[in-house]
Amino acid sequence: MDYAGLLRAAEAGRTPAVALVHGAEPVLLEDLVAAVTRALFPDPADAALSREAVDAREAGAEALVRSALTLPFLGGRRLVIARGVEALTAKAGEPLAAYVSAPNPTSVLLLLAGVELGTGHWLLRAVPASAVVALPRPVGRALVTWLRTRAGAQGYELSEDAAALLVELVGDDLTTLAGEVTKAALAGGPDNRRVTPREVRAVVGAHRLRHIFELTRAVAERDMGAAQTVLGALLTAGEEPLAVLGMLAREARSVWQAREWLREGRREDEVARLLRRPPPAAAAVVALARALRDGAAPRRLARCWEVERRLKLGGAPRPELALLIADLCAA
């Protein structure tokens, strides 16, 4: 089952008695919990009486089973949300595995794992495949689609161009992106529900916007001096290092994608359209993709991932990003 399938089943009153949802993005997990809750309990007052949240790491499998076996208040169905189930070992999870084989039909047990579970994890063997939902991190066009869909669920009309611009300027952190949609809508007035590139630019700010475009353009043109100057300006202005890294990683990903399209035999003008960039920016990406040696494009992207790992382990942002830019411009 996929995300949409679980929501359709919930809205149709066919939510499975047990569902396992796994993925590393908290916002995706919480969005799914909210959607299932709304589908099961159209009246929020019912949710207050018939919904329970349990931390599996603290409560243990037996407590989860006891909660799932509890009968709902005044009929209907009961929702039990169990977070952190990935921490349960196969041995500790035996009561849960036994429950899954014969679940209480008046309860919905939503098992949430905050990581992408490997194929050998015991939970994937215990829960039927039809009740397992993987929530991979959206990237590329899928990220734009996710952002527009989420905005629509919140009552906002987010244009495709505005969503793509937000991703390009803000980065690919889902929580940050979701918050920026609301801020962009408010930029159009307290009652505005439509978000266009104009509102996005108003939120991001002209100064930051200029520096972001200057950085990505300098890297695409392999102008290391200009790129290092803009990097310094961004960090001095308080820009989050991981946000800067996100810009660089997206640029490296675009170059890799452009090179793959060119390798498939697509024309340069077609590749430029697929990149969905302003013509000068798209032309720079295509030119760089053509100029790179074989294997250089994936290595540039892998280098970004390496820096992300180093930053999250406590690496010093300025030198790590400066070295990354040097490598990207030299590739």
Q: Any idea what the CATH number is for the domain that residue 272 is in? A: 1.20.272.10
- Amino acid sitting at position 245: L
Q: How many folded domains does the chain comprise?
A: 3
177 and 84 fall within a common domain:
no
Across 94-108, average pLDDT: 94
Question: Which of the four pLDDT bands, split at 50, 70 and 90, describes residue 331?
Answer: low
Q: Please report the pLDDT score of residue 285 as a whole number.
A: 85
The structure tokens 């010093």 sit at 316
Alpha helices in 2-93 (DSSP H): 3-11, 26-40, 44-50, 56-59, 61-69
Q: Please report the pLDDT score of residue 38 as a whole number.
A: 87
Question: Which of the four pLDDT bands, split at 50, 70 and 90, describes residue 4?
Answer: confident
Q: Is 72 exposed, middle or buried (0-12, 13-18, 19+ CB in 10 A)?
A: middle
56 and 41 fall within a common domain:
yes
Q: Please report the pLDDT score of residue 204 as a whole number.
A: 72
At 321, list the tokens: 């990003």
Count how many residues are written for the chain: 331
267 and 190 fall within a common domain:
no
Range of the domain at 239: 206-330
Q: For residues 270 and 266, what is the distance between their CA atoms, to the nearest angstrom?
A: 6
288 and 302 fall within a common domain:
yes
Q: For residues 262 and 19, what is the distance between their CA atoms, to the nearest angstrom?
A: 42
On the question of pLDDT at 251 being above 90, the answer is no
The answer to whether the CB of 18 falls within 8 A of the CB of 1 is no
CATH number, position 118? 3.40.50.300
What is the average pLDDT score of the chain? 87
On the question of pLDDT at 207 being above 60, the answer is no
Percent of the chain scoring above 70 in pLDDT:
97
| Cα angle value 221/222/228 (rounded, 5°) | 115
113 and 199 fall within a common domain:
no
Q: Please report the pLDDT score of residue 218 as a whole number.
A: 87
The more confidently predicted of residues 257 and 209 is 257
- Please give the backbone phi and psi of residue 306, each rounded to the nearest 5 degrees, phi first: -65, -45
The answer to whether the CB of 181 falls within 8 A of the CB of 195 is yes
Q: For residues 281 and 247, what is the distance between their CA atoms, to the nearest angstrom?
A: 14
The more confidently predicted of residues 92 and 279 is 92
At 69, list the tokens: 């076996």
Percent of the chain scoring above 90 in pLDDT:
38
Across 184-198, average pLDDT: 86
Q: Please report the pLDDT score of residue 283 as a whole number.
A: 83
Boundary of a domain, candidates 113, 134, 155: 134
Model confidence pTM above 0.75: no
Q: Which residues contact 64 (CB under 8 A, 6 or more apart)?
A: 54, 56, 80, 82, 85, 95, 96, 99, 109
On the question of pLDDT at 154 being above 60, the answer is yes
Q: Please report the pLDDT score of residue 205 as a whole number.
A: 65
45 and 70 fall within a common domain:
yes
Boundary of a domain, candidates 93, 110, 134: 134
Which of 209, 213, 166, 157 is CA-nearest to residue 188? Answer: 157
147 and 217 fall within a common domain:
no
Question: Which of the four pLDDT bands, split at 50, 70 and 90, describes residue 287?
Answer: confident
- Please give the backbone phi and psi of residue 31, each rounded to the nearest 5 degrees, phi first: -60, -40
Question: Which of the four pLDDT bands, split at 50, 70 and 90, describes residue 105?
Answer: very high
Q: For residues 109 and 45, what is the distance between their CA atoms, to the nearest angstrom?
A: 20
For the chain, strand residue ranges (E) read: 18-22, 51-55, 78-83, 107-113, 132-134, 157-158, 194-195
20 and 113 fall within a common domain:
yes
Boundary of a domain, candidates 180, 204, 228: 204
- Please give the backbone phi and psi of residue 228, each rounded to the nearest 5 degrees, phi first: -65, -35
SS3 308: helix
Q: For residues 145 and 241, what is the distance between their CA atoms, to the nearest angstrom?
A: 26
213 and 199 fall within a common domain:
no
On the question of pLDDT at 23 being above 60, the answer is yes
Across 56-72, average pLDDT: 92
Q: At what angle do helices 197-204 and 174-187 cross, to 10 degrees?
A: 110
The answer to whether the CB of 76 falls within 8 A of the CB of 92 is no
Across 306-324, average pLDDT: 92
